[in-house]
Structure 1
Amino acid sequence: MHIANIKTEILNFLDSLKNRLFSLSCDFYHNPETGLKEYKTSAACVAILEEFGFTADKAVAGLETAFKAAFGNGRPAIAFLVEMDALPQIGHGCGHNISGVASLGAAIAVSQAIPKIGGNVVVLGTPAEEIGVGKIAMIKAGLFNGLDCAMMTHPSSKRMVTRIFLGLIRLNLHFKGRASHASAYPEEGINALDAVIQTFNSISALRQQLRSDVRIHGIITDGGVAPNILPEKASASFYVRAKDLDELYAVKEKVLNCARGAALATGCQLTVEEGSDINAPLKINKALADTYRRQLEFLGLREDDFPMDKNAGSSDIGNVSQVLPTIHPHILLKRGINIHTKEFADATIAADGENAIMEGARCLALTAAELISDKALLENVKRDFSDGGGV
């Protein structure tokens, strides 16, 4: 069957599923679950996939709420990623109820075409994106092995096909000094809080010598127990971000040098606790992005003119993009609002939310259908990945 006819069937099927998908997203909104606790959300995702003939494995990669579901067999194997976690207090202020359901809808729609076009549709339920651990654990467990592409969308105040994500390293710095009475015997103490403050000051001076994409931000997590006691212990937590791994590691070392210098200057002992895994930068795949962009144009939608490197954050989707071709477009939820807010969460259950789900599901499904049907296109995507991607 011609790809144009396949696309028409996919879009018609998604239209028939529209109310069901929006209802599921609203259920997720009203029952938000934070990272690694997405029990009801994960179960509901698996249930609808099994209803449409997917075979599912639950609690994969040692994560109780992670799952892998598949329809079809062989290659190409296209993965749709489902993020499920909400934010503490805010709920679905990051819109994972939108993006997750869009991936479910796309996967189910493409599965209806598998008997005609072949291939394999895989759905990976990836917990705890906000913590940045789910996809990394699933990569280590081999759940991305044997896949040709991975894709998902994310709701936003703008429509963007390509958007960078910065690499992220987490650092916890612990300083140990010597306690003493701050008034009676200050000369006998070593103030650990001074070391923390000096670290912050050194990092502030460092910023003027860093690239524009680099971000360093931190908080004091332990500053002592009372004003009249020189703090024996003090700690700070920092995030270091950059858009490529070489720069990320280089800046991390500069931050550690700031802490080492502060420890030396104050006479404190420094202990560094580094997060076990980094969030890697997103590796852009031009061929895959262009394929998605064609679907936007096919549907009569226009991408916003917005710098791809502006207001960038970090996500474990970057780690996925380092191991196979990946796309993470931003779909339009509502203009003029910011993610990680209650206003953003509330928009997901309005008409804007329904429109965003359908935009994401349609574009992802049509992109996957082209990749499965066009062997040359898929090879071009893989070649772009091997060559380093880029736009």
Structure 2
Amino acid sequence: MDTESLKTAICRSVELRRNDFTAISHDLYLHPETALQEQRSSEVLCRFLEREGFQVKRGLAEMETAFTATYGNAGPAIAILAEMDALPELGHACGHNIIAAAALGAAAVLREVLPEDAVRLTVMGTPAEEQGIGKIELIKAGFFDSIEFAMMVHPSSRRYVTKAYLGLARLRFVFHGRPAHASAYPEEGINALDGVIQTFNAINALRQQVPQDVRIHGIITDGGAAPNIIPARASCSFYVRAAELDRVHAMVQRVIACAQGAATATGSRLEVEEDPRIMAPFRINQAYADLYAKQLELLGLAEDVVAVDRNCGSSDIGNVSQIVPTIHPHVPIGSGINIHSSSFAEATVSLQGDQAVLEGACALAMTAADLVCDPAYRRRIAEEFTKN
């Protein structure tokens, strides 16, 4: 197959079908659904893919809204990931409507231009990214076992190809004390809330002696019933992040030690709950990233100069990147706006937001075309992944 002709056909198709693809983004924006509740969103995506000739399977890994849509029977196994969940109250303030629309757009045009014996293409509907659940559960259930290359785009205030993501572990501490009248019989009580407060104080002290990439942040989830009742129960939740998975595990133990010390100091009893679903740091594959960057050059789109470790969050895409070569480039929807804000949600359906859908669909499909047509690209990416 002639790669240049394929890419020309891809760009032409994306432009001709721009309204089809941006309509998906707008539909999800108007009907936002939170993690694991994306029934309508998932069905919108599945029905579109069925109309495009994909074989769709719903309800995967014990998640109603997870799905796969497949096309082709030979060639490289490429997965395009479609996130779909929104944030509580803020709607699509992380832009998953754009992610899904770009993924479906890329898949649709690839199916138009590639014969069945050229590619094994999977669109993977991955719910609950905001909770760091969907991709981890799909990995555990084996849905990535046969995938060779994974890709997706994410909206941003900038355009860039590579970005670091921190590993993340989640902890919940529940302190149990003894209630008493806070004024009449304070000596009879054991204040569970003091355990929570001392945990925060100890963690604040710990932050002075941790590496620069470590982030520890938490909230009080239960602080008692009334000021005149010594709290018999109080709880708090923390996220622990770091650039390396070993460091995440080490910092988790230090944070737990802070809570254990607080329990000892206050005489309360401590329950520790660790979520076993730990989000892994993102593993950058430079050869793969360079291939996507090549498509931006062909499209005449300039990357923004941004340090890869600037403004790092976490995502379950990191877990995918640990087991299969993965790219997660960002497409711009407007400068000066940050994710998880109402202004970001509104920007996803602006003219620039619509253009981001088309850019993502086109660049992802062009990248996939190179993977299909040139085994040298596949070899370089695989070799880097194996070495690192």
Aligned to 2:193: 193
Counterpart position of 2:338: 338
Tell me which moved more, 340-349 or 316-325. 340-349
Query: 1:117·1:373 contact (CA, 8 Å) conserved in 2?
Result: no
Partners of 1:171 and 1:280 in 2: CA distance: 15
Give the conservation status (yes or no) of the 8 Å contact 2:79–2:149. Answer: yes
| 1:248-273 deviation line (CA, Å, top 9, x unaligned) | 01111110111111111111111101
- Distance between the aligned counterparts of 2:359 and 2:296, measured in 1? 8
Deviation at 1:58, TM superposition (A): 1.1
Q: State how far apart, in whole Å, the 2-side matches of 1:146 and 1:331 are.
A: 28
Distance 1:310 1:66 in 2: 31
TM-aligned CA deviation for residue 180 of structure 1: 2.0
How much does 1:365 deviate? Answer: 0.6
Within 2, Cα distance between the matches of 1:263 and 1:344?
Answer: 41
Alignment of 1:1-391 (within 5 A): 1-115=1-115, 118-388=118-388
1:372 is aligned with what amino acid?
A: V
Deviations 1:342-363, CA, capped at 9 Å, x for gaps: 2111112221111100111111
Describe the SS at the equivalent of 1:130.
Answer: helix
Could you report, residue by residue, the CA deviation over 1:89-131 in whole angstroms, capped at 9, with x for unpaired residues?
2111111111110011111111223218711111001111111
CA displacement at 1:314 relative to structure 2: 0.9
* C-alpha contact 2:157 2:338 (8 A) present in aligned 1: yes
Please tell me the residue identity of whatever aligns with 1:190: I
Amino acid in the other structure paired with 2:285: N
Whether the aligned pair in 1 keeps the contact of 2:72 and 2:117 (CA below 8 Å) is no
Is contact 1:288–1:326 with CA below 8 Å preserved after alignment? Answer: yes
Unaligned runs of 5+ in 2: none
Cα-to-partner distance string for 1:215-237 (whole Å, 9 max, x where unaligned): 10111111111222221211111
Measure the CA separation in 2 of the matches of 1:133 and 1:329.
21
- Flag structure 1 segments of 5+ consecutive residues without an equivalent: none
Q: For residue 266 of structure 1, what is the amino acid of its counterpart?
A: T
Secondary structure of the residue that 1:65 maps to in structure 2? strand
8 Å Cα contact 2:217/2:239 also seen in 1: yes
Deviation of the 1:48 alpha carbon: 1.6
The alignment partner of 2:65 has SS state of: coil
Query: Letter of the aligned partner of 1:173 in structure 2?
Result: F
Q: Which amino acid aligns with 2:384?
A: D
TM-score normalised by the chain length of structure 2: 0.97
* Equivalent residues of 2:163, 2:309 under 8 A apart: yes
CA deviations 1:53-110 (Å, max 9, x no partner) are 1111111111111110111013301000001111122111111111110011111111
Segments of 4+ moved more than 6 angstroms: none
Amino acid aligned to 1:344:
F
Contact 1:170-1:239 within 8 A present in 2 as well: yes
Q: Give how far 1:33 is off.
A: 1.4
In the TM superposition, what whole-angstrom CA distance separates every residue of 1:157-203 from its partner, at most 9, and x where no partner exists? 01111111111111000111222222222222221111111110010
Q: Is the 8 A contact 2:162 2:284 kept in 1?
A: yes
How big is the shift at 1:364? 0.5
> Conserved in 1, the CA contact under 8 Å of 2:73 and 2:117?
no
Question: d(CA) in 2 for partners of 1:362 and 1:91?
Answer: 26
Give the length in aligned residue pairs. Answer: 388
Q: Secondary structure at the match of 1:199?
A: helix
| In structure 2, C-alpha distance between the alignment counterparts of 1:187 and 1:155, rounded to whole Å | 55
Q: CA deviation at 1:286?
A: 0.8
**RMSD of aligned Cα (Å):** 1.2
Deviates more, 1:355-364 or 1:183-192: 183-192
Normalising by structure 1, we get a TM-score of 0.97
- The Cα of 1:332 is off from its aligned counterpart by 0.6
SS of structure 2 residue aligned to 1:218: strand
Q: CA deviation at 1:378?
A: 0.7
Q: Percent identity at matched positions?
A: 54
- Asked whether the 8 Å contact 1:222–1:234 carries over to 2, the reply is yes
- Report SS of the residue matched to 1:277: coil
* Contact persistence 1:175–1:269 (CA under 8 A): yes
| Distance (whole Å) between structure 2 residues aligned to residue 24 and residue 369 of structure 1 | 23
| 8 A contact 1:114–1:120 mirrored in 2 | no
Deviations 1:133-169 (A, max 9, x none): 1111111111111111110000000111111111111
Matched residue SS, 1:115: coil
**Which secondary structure state, in structure 2, belongs to the residue aligned with residue 58 of structure 1?**
strand
What's the secondary structure of 1:343's corresponding residue? helix
